[in-house]
Amino acid sequence: MKLTIIPLLAVLIAGIPAAVSAGDQPNVIMILVDDMGYSDVGCYGGEIDTPNLNQLAANGLRFTQFYNTARCWPTRAALMTGF
């Protein structure tokens, strides 16, 4: 009985700091689309009504300088891996 309680207790105690500090980290949403121009979204002056994206932009960060390659896979790989 003691042999099963000790590992279980260790796992529970180890998970407590992670649960407490999880709220301190920011939420990150990455939206990756193909063939979308800079002004296609409403928050950048586009004609398409995008109320959810406009709300996200009003309450968060908006990036104005991003360059991609002619093919989309290097950009996707760089964003997803950080290289």
- Write the pLDDT tens digit of every residue in 10-25: 666 766 665 555 567 7
Question: What is the distance between the alpha carbons of residues 34 and 46, in angstroms, rounded to a whole number?
Answer: 16
Give the closest residue to 53 by CA, choosing from 37, 31, 33.
31
Q: What are 60-69's pLDDT values in tens digits?
A: 888 877 776 6
Note down the domain range covering 71: 2-81
Side chain identity at 2, as an amino acid letter? K
State how many domains the chain has: 1
DSSP state of 42: G
pLDDT computed for residue 23 by the predictor: 63
Q: With contact defined as beta carbons under 8 Å apart, do 16 and 9 qualify?
A: no
Give the sign of the dihedral formed by CA 70, CA 73, CA 34, CA 67: negative
Name the pTM for this structure.
Answer: 0.49
